[in-house]
């Protein structure tokens, strides 16, 4: 079936270091969304990318959508302890009925 692969599964960084998580789909996506889930919380929408090659920024977070619309990345510059949580990508496959396919997430821990 349709899958969205996300790596790495875990990432431990020192506060101030950068962090990147990658998302790959075997099929072309209509769009991709990113969510953040704090420990003990629920996923919260961060952003949606729709266009091929699109790049969006939110303060220290940079989101990219690949030219082929099969991969995406989230990069955090100079991590802070408030960035701790699990980051999920979720893809909407072309021809799907509207349900997102979530990656398994990257769990980020930040050492102060």
Partner 1 sequence: DAGVIQSPRHEVTEMGQEVTLRCKPISGHNSLFWYRQTMMRGLELLIYFNNNVPIDDSGMPEDRFSAKMPNASFSTLKIQPSEPRDSAVYFCASSFSTLGTSGYEQYFGPGTRLTVT
Contacts of 10 (CB under 8 A, 6+ apart): 106, 107, 109
* 97 binding partner 1? (CB under 8 A): yes
d(CA 57, CA 109): 21
We find the least distance from the C-beta atom of residue 1 to partner 1, in angstroms, to be 8
Is the separation of the CB atoms in 100 and 91 below 8 Å? yes
We find the least distance from the C-beta atom of residue 17 to partner 1, in angstroms, to be 25
* 88 binding partner 1? (CB under 8 A): yes
Q: Which residues contribute to the site for partner 1 (CB under 8 A)?
A: 30-31, 33, 41-45, 48, 50, 88, 90, 92, 95-105
């Amino acid at each position: 079936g349709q899958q969205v692969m996300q790596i790495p599964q875990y990432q431990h960084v020192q506060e101030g270091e950068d962090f990147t998580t990658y998302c790959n789909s075997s099929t072309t996506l209509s769009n991709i969304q990113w969510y953040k889930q704090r420990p003990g919380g629920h996923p919260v929408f961060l952003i949606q990318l729709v266009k091929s090659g699109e790049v969006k920024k939110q303060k220290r977070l940079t989101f990219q959508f690949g030219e082929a619309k099969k991969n995406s990345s989230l990069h955090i510059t100079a991590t802070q302890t408030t960035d701790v949580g699990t980051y999920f990508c979720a893809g909407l496959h072309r021809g799907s009925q509207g349900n997102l396919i979530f990656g398994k997430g990257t769990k980020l821990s930040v050492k102060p």
